[in-house]
Amino acid sequence: MVVLDLVGIFVFAISGALVAVRKELDLFAVLVLAGTTGLGGGFLRDVLIGATPPAALADWRYLLAPIGAGLLTFFFHPTLGRLERRVTVFDAFGLAVFCVAGAVKALEYGLGPLPAALLGMVTGIGGGMLRDVLAGRVPVVFRGELYATPALAGGGVAVVGIELGAPLLPVAVAGAAVCLVWRLLALWRGWQAPMPTGPASV
């Protein structure tokens, strides 16, 4: 589980570091955006449920993963940028792991099913949203990319399973699988989130 978590953090961190490189920001920004993207969703969840200090601050491996991803991207960004489509597939794995882990942790801290599923989604997408705010752009999850819905669905499946009394492991796998398959289908088929219709109201 920790290995899956670290892989997710590493891949998220690469996406943050690539944003910094493309914005022509400095090494420090590369590292901060790597860390924010990799760990920010979990930080938001932990601060909201009162699980402070966040787990990632108590385990140096969680801090070294984004630092490593940031340095790797700083030096080899042309290669990583070309591989980004493949990175996106790993990113879907990270999303699947995070949304389930976040929902389960929120349940453990006594939250109800609906807020727990929402916090699973926040764990999955919060890092990328912080990355975009710090990089001065509107979050990509707001612009048609079908990213948040799979995370909400994955967290929701995990929550429903646990509330029904099913054992943790198969429930977690099912939630992650729902998120992963949905996200990959959205990527491959180019599914988009619905847009408001009609002229923008004044």
Rank residues 23 and 177 by Cβ distance to its own copies and give the closer one: 23
Does residue 127 contact residue 14 with C-beta atoms inside 8 Å?
A: no
Beta-strand runs (E) in the chain: none
Rank residues 110 and 167 by Cβ distance to its own copies and give the closer one: 110
Rank residues 28 and 163 by Cβ distance to its own copies and give the closer one: 28
- Give min distance, CB of 75 to its own copies, in A: 8
Contact positions toward its own copies, by CB under 8 A? 18, 20-30, 32, 43, 47-50, 52-54, 57-58, 60, 63, 74, 77-82, 84, 109-112, 114-115, 118-119, 129, 133-139, 141-144, 148-149, 192-196, 198-202
- Report how far residue 93's alpha carbon sits from residue 101's, in angstroms, rounded to the nearest whole number: 12
Region of residue 136 (left: phi > 0; alpha: psi -120 to 50; beta: else): left
- Give min distance, CB of 170 to its own copies, in A: 27
- Give min distance, CB of 164 to its own copies, in A: 18
Residues composing the chain: 202
For the record, the structure tokens of 42 come out as: 């979990």
Task: Match 């996106």 to its residue by tokens.
Answer: 88
